[in-house]
Amino acid sequence: TDEVFMSAQEAVGAHRDTQVLEKNFINQLKVLAVNDPVGCPNNCGRAYKGSRRKHSLKRHLLFECGKPPQFQCVVCFKRFTNKKSMQYHLAAIHKIINH
C-alpha cells in the first residue's frame, strides 16, 4: 500500500510539474506574440506588432487595404482612411471641433 500511495504522490507531483511547465511555455508564447510582427495576408507590406496588433490588422483589412480612403474633409476635401484622423485634421487645420 505504501508503493501505491507513493505512486499516487509521484503522479500528483509530475502533474503539477507539467502544469508549471505549460504555464511557463504559455507565458513565453505571450511574450513572443506581443513582440512578433504580424503581416497583412494581402502582402501589401503592412505589419503590426504589440498587444493591439490583432485589432490593428483587422482595422487595416476592413478599412484600408486595397480600398480608397472612406472619410473626406468637408473643407478641403482631403481624404482619410480613419475617421479619427479626419476629425483631428478638422480640429487642427480648420479649427472645427465635433464634426
Q: What percent of the chain clears pLDDT 90, i.e. is strictly above it? A: 29
CA end-to-end span of the chain, whole Å?
79
Residues 51 and 76 in one domain: no
pLDDT in tens, 42-78: 889 998 888 788 888 888 998 889 999 999 999 999 9
CB count in 10 Å sphere of residue 86:
20
Residues 61 and 81 in one domain: no
How many domains is the chain built from? 2
pLDDT at 78: 98
pLDDT at 22: 63
Residues 77 and 49 in one domain: no
pTM of the model: 0.53
SS3 88: helix
Residues 15 and 51 in one domain: yes
User: Which band of pLDDT confidence, cut at 50, 70 and 90, is reported for residue 36?
Assistant: confident
Residues 74 and 95 in one domain: yes
Consecutive H or E run containing 76? none
User: Which band of pLDDT confidence, cut at 50, 70 and 90, is reported for residue 99?
Assistant: low
pLDDT at 19: 63
Question: What is the extent of the structural domain holding 77?
Answer: 68-99
Whether the CB-CB separation of 96 and 90 falls below 8 Å is answered with yes
Residues 50 and 83 in one domain: no
Name which residue leads in pLDDT, 74 or 39. 74
